[in-house]
A and B are shown apart, each in its own frame.
Chain A
Amino acid sequence: EVQLVESGGGLVQPGGSLRLSCAASGFTFSSYWMHWVRQAPGKGLVWVSRINSDGSSTSYADSVKGRFTISRDNAKNTLYLQMNSLRAEDTAVYYCARRGGVGATPNAFDIWGQGTMVTVSS
């Protein structure tokens, strides 16, 4: 079964750090670009970051640039998001998502994880 499973969320104080993980299974992880998308409570989806298939290229939303770092370990089929200098406005459910477009897969976010909640509060 093709799936993504996030972990690592929790409660952290402002200024603190957290590392999210996203374990992939059921597909050739190393062939796909991967993204993080977040959703604050009661709000819409917001793109956070993306990484290309071999990890050599990354991109970030302005709101997290310089504070968050996306990375991947293709040998472990795992995507990461290192979040530093966390702020209250970073409170959200964080989803990892596969960007298709490889082979016959849709060129869109075709697979999503279940999400992991990050709460930044003192």
Chain B
Amino acid sequence: QSALTQPPSASGSPGQSVTISCTGTSSDVGGYNYVSWYQQHPGKAPKLMIYEVSKRPSGVPDRFSGSKSGNTASLTVSGLQAEDEADYYCSSYAGTVFGGGTKLTVL
């Protein structure tokens, strides 16, 4: 399987919203509602932020939301805060493929 496609970087000012895309194919992102998103701070393990396209695990702020259209999934972070600065990865279906990661910078 090929890696999912994410933009290498994204940025926004505090309080703004930013959206990160994750593009796959009809065999992964488009074919199943199992897209998940992970946040990773430097030197730390990844943390689950969104699962099954748009669901949030307990404890994840509702500033984080997910959606999907066709073969592209999206993670939106609203009301950006300094602590949101991190790398974000998408994953699809059974988790055997990840996106290349997006570095989110809070300006």
Contact = CB atoms under 8 A, between A and B. Distances in A.
A112 interface: yes
B101 interface: yes
Contacts of B45: 95, 112-115
B35 to A, nearest CB: 9
A91 B7 CA distance: 25
B84 to A, nearest CB: 19
Contacts, number: 65
Interface stretch (A15-23, A39-47, A71-79, A81-89): A39-47
Interface residues of B, number: 24
B96 A45 contact: no
A100 B48 CA distance: 11
A44 B95 contact: no
A54 interface: no
A109 B52 CA distance: 11
Contact of A108 (B3, B40, B51, B96): B51
A13 interface: no
A109 B91 CA distance: 9
Interface centre among A97, A109, A115 (most CB of B within 10 A): A109
Nearest to B8: A44
B64 to A, nearest CB: 14
22 contacts: A44-B3, A44-B89, A44-B101, A45-B89, A45-B91, A46-B98, A47-B98, A50-B96, A59-B96, A97-B46, A97-B95, A99-B94, A99-B95, A106-B36, A106-B57, A108-B36, A108-B48, A109-B36, A109-B91, A110-B51, A112-B45, A112-B46
